[in-house]
Amino acid sequence: MKRAFKYRFYPTDAQAAELSRTFGCVRKVYNLALAARTQAWAQQERVNYNQTSAMLTAWKKTEELAYLNEVSCVPLQQALRHLQVAFTHFFAKRAGYPRFKSRKKSRKSAEYTTSAFRFRDGGLTLAKMAEPLAIVWSRPLPEGASPSTVTVSQDAAGRWFVSLLCEDPSVGPLPAAGAAVGVDAGLDHLVTLSTGEKVANPRHERRDRERLAKAQRDLARKAEGDGANRRKARRRVAAVHARIADRRRDHLHKLTTRLVRENQTIVIEDLAVRNMVKNHGLARAISDAAWWELRNMLEYKARWYGREVIAIDRWFPSSKMCSACGTLRDKMPLNVRTWTCDCGTTHDRDVNAAKNILAVGLTASVCGAGVRPQRRTPGGQPATKQKPLQREP
């Protein structure tokens, strides 16, 4: 399986200037091609990759766009391929209509294929460059790996990264594990497992909130425009955000890797995070917890290692149901962290929810999606008529 290995590097002034020119040309070609395809779309015509490639050749011959010849042609062609993929997703209704790239807001990146770089003796040299990149090899590549694609990028904090796509023989199905675990996401604890384990929420953003506020105040005092001082202040804000994001990503990687290695089946809730962050009282905490990123990591690592991730219905009342007898309570306010069921079982709210999530997930896996455990009325009798499910508070 192919896997991307990302490293930081420190370019020389000449390399930084060359890459900055390449980023600008990639953005320009992408926007020109998108404009041409949009115009054709308005006239009920379709333009494919081959036609935009011919347009690129014509653009290079014009006096206005002759500067496109100064950079490697491969990243420009790759930009057209990326646009083609974006339109493919749009026509398949998997994504919205492609948008133009902004000079200030869009990600700065350029993709090189094998014809535009040389990887030899641990050194990577890109087209139009005389010297190899000064890469910090924080971890080794797979033995005998030969990159098929190299992507160079620069983040908002000004850091440079190179990503090498290689075949990784170490990625493959792990030995079967008989364990299954339910995962309840939260804010007091990042996740609570059906085994009773609670993983603390590091709250990375809160730890750097004072530093971030100071950097943002400094930025707000700078004059509007594109001056050097404002750019420096904006970069300092981006550096704090990058520090927070790096720590959060590192913690999530360690957690998800452990869960995938130890369990054959992982059951989670299908949370609508986009809707949940509309609650302005909890939006910052929910964003800092990064539940969507947690789920995404679990899913792709499960595909790598032959595990299964099951997402249950977000409306399932996991906190209000007794995991021992199935009694369903009418209400369960958020301030209630421990409660005792009529059957005499005392529950920790989050552990009980994780157990219910696991139960309904395993049931759905065996019997089909949407299957839920038998619900009972507070009196202990099976419910004959179910009320419409209400979302948990």
User: Residue 370: pLDDT above 80?
Assistant: no
Place of tokens 């036609």: 51
Looking at residue 341, its pLDDT comes to: 86
pLDDT > 70? residue 213:
yes
Among this protein's residues, is 184 annotated catalytic?
A: yes
The mean pLDDT value for 241-259 works out to 96
Residue 329 is predicted with a pLDDT of: 83
pLDDT class of 96 with cuts at 50, 70, 90? very high
Average pLDDT over the chain reads 88
Runs of H (alpha helix) within 263-321: 273-276, 283-289, 291-305
Nearest Cα neighbor of 273 from 288, 284, 287 is: 287
Classify strands 346-348 and 338-340 as parallel, antiparallel or unpaired: antiparallel
Length of the chain: 393
Nearest in space to 294 (alpha carbons), one of 268, 261, 263, 265: 268
The catalytic position among 111, 184, 205, 288 is 184
pLDDT digits (tens, 9 = 90+) for 268-325: 999 888 888 888 888 999 999 999 999 999 999 999 999 999 998 888 888 888 888 8
Catalytic residue among 18, 111, 205, 269: 269
- Marked catalytic residue, from 18, 111, 288, 350: 350
Domain map (residue ranges) of the chain: 2-167, 181-307, 313-393
pLDDT at 99: 95
**According to the model, what pLDDT value does residue 327 have?**
82
Percent of the chain with pLDDT over 90: 67
Closest residue by Cα to residue 374 from 389, 387, 359, 388: 359
Q: Is 246 a catalytic residue?
A: no
pLDDT tens per residue, range 61-86: 999 999 999 999 999 999 999 999 99
Annotation says 269 is catalytic: yes
* Closest-CA residue to 183 (of 261, 290, 265): 265
The mean pLDDT value for 96-114 works out to 94
Cα-to-chain-centroid distance, residue 89: 18
* Average pLDDT score over residue span 164-176: 90
Span 22-56, pLDDT tens digits:
999 999 999 999 999 999 989 988 899 999 999 99
Residue 387, pLDDT > 80, answer no
Using an 8 Å Cβ cutoff, are 309 and 358 in contact?
Answer: no
